[in-house]
Amino acid sequence: MIKKIAVLGAGVMGSEIAQAASAGGVDVVLLDSDPAALERGLAHVGKIGARRVERGRMSADEAAAILARVRPTADAADVGDCDLAIEAVPEVMDIKRTVFGVLDKALPAGAILASNTSGLSISELAATTGRPDRVVGLHFFNPASVMKLVEVIRGSSTSEATLAEAEEFAKALGKVPVRVRECPGFLVNRILVRAMVEAYREAASIGAGMAEADRAVVDAGPAPMGAFALGDLIGLDTMGHIQSDLQAAYGDRFDDAGQIAAQVAAGRQSLVLVPEIGLTPQLVERFRRRFRGTGIALLHSGLTDRQRLDADPLAAQKTAQVKSAFLGASASYATAVAYRDKLVEHLLAAFRLTPPSPEKAAIEQRLADDPDDKAAKKDALQHLVAHGGPGLDVMLRVCVNDAATATPGFAGSDIAKSMQVVATSTLFRFGELSHRLAEIYNG
């Protein structure tokens, strides 16, 4: 059992992971060579607790205990009794290899070494260590103190025991671990960034305003923020690393027309922050907290959406084009949701074929009372795994294939397997079924 971890890198992501781990009752060593970064990181952990206390989600004593479990240090020797170390440094392979070398020497034998990379090779990182079987990817999403999903990535030498321990650690923090195969971008970024670069490229080609395009996406309803606001929240420097890696791996479908690199070269981490783009007040405040004191411009050239539309008679048309490009590239998500819903139907039908029992009858009654009861559906699928008999894997494969066949647009997708995992992970984020389905998809 993992009781103490190290997080290397006290930036936004590192301090978020530290907070999530400490909130889960784990002792954390927050390691960074920059004393100022350590001070900011620890302050960030404290602010998360203070906000939750203010909102009545946590007591002051709980917040103080979480902060007390995070120990800042600049000395790598202080990680010598940790069960797990997670690096959260910039998405540059040379930096991560150097960090892995330091951690490999400092950690005790048998400790797990994890990377929070969003798409770099776990196998390549593992090769720099003397413990390749104990190296794994643990990709938390920002803000890690809130976001539930954690991608668990297996390198070519990662042992099954290491994967299992990493998953159990994520679950102990209240997270939802999803196993994914090693490939550039893994699962989420292959879908998300593909849609985002479409928006950057389209906006550049027609001169559309970013704030207006983001507002159009939000008003259309499929996403809580548009591509440009999301890129700013991620950070354009991080986005630039991810985009260039994906373009190198998969070609021009990840081309952003050089837009992100140009902004980073100009010294900008972020471009936008205006309430008019359709962000909720909570998201606006998150932007303000992140970029306060950094010198980043908080307005779109000082113009509101209305002023931009009045100044450019074609602005509305341009905005519609960018929205169409972004949502068109995001169509895989809609297809995945449709596939998921169809798969649920098939799996519930399979559940009803399992042998009679009082437990099964109780679940069936709950579903009869409320066909949309998600908890009852999850219990039904857990029951299916436990009582499906020797033909369970065959049954699951039939359900997977039938759902894919019945979903329009699914077969023609160039990321069909990734979509299968997305579709199921959005509902089956628990127990044995998610593992069995992942094995089918990755098989």
CATH of the domain at 101: 3.40.50.720
Q: What is the DSSP letter of 404?
A: H
Whether residues 394 and 293 share a domain: the answer is: no
Q: Please give the pLDDT value at position 226.
A: 78
Asked whether the beta carbons of 238 and 264 are under 8 A apart, the reply is no
Determine the pLDDT at residue 434: 64
The pLDDT profile of the chain, 443 residues, written as one tens digit per residue, is 899 999 999 988 899 999 999 999 999 999 998 898 899 999 999 999 998 999 898 999 999 999 999 999 999 999 999 999 999 988 888 899 999 999 999 999 999 999 999 888 999 999 999 999 999 999 998 889 988 889 999 999 999 999 999 999 999 999 989 888 888 888 888 888 888 888 888 888 887 777 777 777 777 666 667 788 788 777 777 888 889 989 998 898 899 999 888 877 876 655 443 333 444 555 555 555 544 443 333 333 333 343 444 445 555 666 666 666 666 665 565 666 677 778 888 888 888 888 899 999 999 999 999 988 888 888 888 888 888 776 777 778 788 778 777 777 666 554 455 555 554 554 454 456 666 666 666 55
The structural domain count of the chain equals: 3
Instruction: Tell me the one-letter amino acid at 146.
Output: V
The verdict on 69 and 101 lying in the same domain is yes
CB distance 197 to 243 below 8 Å: yes
Q: pTM score, two decimals? A: 0.65
Q: Are residues 287 and 265 in the same domain?
A: yes
Instruction: Please check whether residues 304 and 215 belong to one and the same domain.
Output: yes
- In 3D space, the residue among 139, 161, 152, 147 whose CA is nearest the CA of residue 179 turns out to be 152
- If asked whether residues 205 and 174 sit together in one domain, one would say no
Answer yes or no: do 211 and 224 share one domain. yes
Last residue of a domain, one of 157, 180, 203: 180
Q: Are residues 322 and 387 in the same domain?
A: no
Of 329, 364, 382, which closes a domain? 329
- Expressed as residue numbers, the domain containing 160 is 4-180
> Quick one: 430 and 420 in the same domain?
yes
Q: Do residues 241 and 163 both lie within one domain?
A: no
Spatial distance between the Cα atoms of 273 and 270, rounded to a whole number of angstroms: 9
Cα distances (Å, whole numbers) of residue 356 to 304, 352, 359: 63, 9, 8
Q: Is 46 exposed, middle or buried (0-12, 13-18, 19+ CB in 10 A)?
A: middle
Helix (H, G, I), strand (E, B) or coil at 88: coil
How close are the terminal C-alpha atoms of the chain, in Å? 30
Q: 235 to each of 36, 95, 402, how far by Cα in Å?
A: 20, 18, 40
Residues 268, 295: Cα–Cα separation, whole Å = 9
157 and 200, same domain (yes or no): no
- Report d(CA 31, CA 76) in Å as an integer: 7
CB atoms within 10 A of CB 41: 28
In three-state secondary structure terms, 409 is coil
Residue with tokens 């997977």: 400
Q: Are residues 69 and 164 in the same domain?
A: yes
Cβ proximity of 144 and 15 under 8 Å? no
C-alpha span between 323 and 321 (Å, rounded) = 5
Given this model, what pLDDT does residue 349 score?
87
- For residues 79 and 31, the answer to whether their CB atoms sit within 8 Å is yes
Cβ neighbours of residue 159 closer than 8 Å, sequence gap 6 or more: 133, 134
User: Residue 401 has what pLDDT?
Assistant: 78
Q: Point out the domain boundary residue: 135, 163, 180.
A: 180
Taking the C-alpha atoms of residue 203 and residue 124, their distance in angstroms, rounded to an integer, is: 36
**Both 304 and 374 in a single domain?**
no
Report the pLDDT value the prediction gives residue 307, as an integer from 0 to 100: 42
pLDDT reported for residue 371? 87
- Residues involved in catalysis: 139
